[in-house]
Amino acid sequence: MTETEPGLRERKKRARADAIVDAAQRLVLERGLDAVTVEQIADEVGISPRTFFNYFDSKDDAVLGHRALDVDPAVVDAFVGGGPTGEFLRDVEAFAVAMIGGFASSPDRVARTFALVESDPRLLARHVTWLEAHRAEVAALFERRHAARPLPADAELCSMALFLVLRAAGERWERGGRVGAVADHVRAAVAQLAAIARA
């Protein structure tokens, strides 16, 4: 594989973004949100502030690890095409695991994000705004899926169900002592959602 091939470029880009998040979180946990600047984060990683903004729109986004929806295009294509199994909740489970893989690859990073969101109302507000933007993006994917395989409910409600599964998996991981990966708890969260629907 050469330096110019997309796979390597994407891995390097993700590694740099992860390094920015790790530096931003470490500095903010040490000094507090107001005492940390974009310039300090960039310096910690060995990049320019201009390069920082190629990865994140703001300091808060870097601290929280907020990025664009990062799901393998093949997974997206399978989902909007009515798959991968054709069974709605199993497909939601697969998509949830893929979403988590895009932003929760490091348990330590996830744990720091939880702590930071809980520590500062501004970060909580920013996180809620980011989640809402992603929910709208995911709702659009459900709309596309509906054309291939009719949804059991409207796209907005289906997208809310997916984000409920993500949140429940995160909370199960947190209650379980942050052992393993958040994705390990998706199946149990989906099972609970199915049980509620049957009740």
- C-alpha 135 chain-centroid distance: 11
Instruction: Name every residue whose Cβ is closer than 8 Å to that of residue 171 and which is 6 or more positions away in sequence.
Output: none
Band the pLDDT of 103: cuts 50, 70, 90: low
Domain identity same for 3 and 22:
yes
Q: Which of 37, 63, 89 is the last residue of a domain?
A: 63
Average pLDDT over residues 168-182: 87
Residue 67: CB atoms within 10 A of its CB come to: 18
Domain identity same for 17 and 95:
no
Which range has the worst mean pLDDT, 94-103, 132-141, 158-167? 94-103
Can you read off the two tokens belonging to residue 146?
């509906």
Domain identity same for 97 and 21:
no
The CATH number of whichever domain residue 145 belongs to comes to 1.10.357.10
Domain identity same for 90 and 168:
yes
Domain identity same for 104 and 172:
yes
Query: What's the number of domains the chain is made of?
Result: 2
- Show the domain range for 146: 68-199
Band the pLDDT of 104: cuts 50, 70, 90: low
- What's the pLDDT at 2? 45
The CATH number of whichever domain residue 12 belongs to comes to 1.10.10.60
Domain identity same for 127 and 153:
yes
Domain identity same for 31 and 125:
no
Domain identity same for 38 and 101:
no
Q: Which of 13, 34, 63 is the last residue of a domain?
A: 63
Domain identity same for 77 and 53:
no
Domain identity same for 111 and 77:
yes
- Nearest 5°: the CA angle 120, 97, 100 is 25
- What's the pLDDT at 105? 61
Q: Which of 11, 43, 63 is the last residue of a domain?
A: 63
Instruction: Name every residue whose Cβ is closer than 8 Å to that of residue 93 and which is 6 or more positions away in sequence.
Output: 165, 186, 187, 190
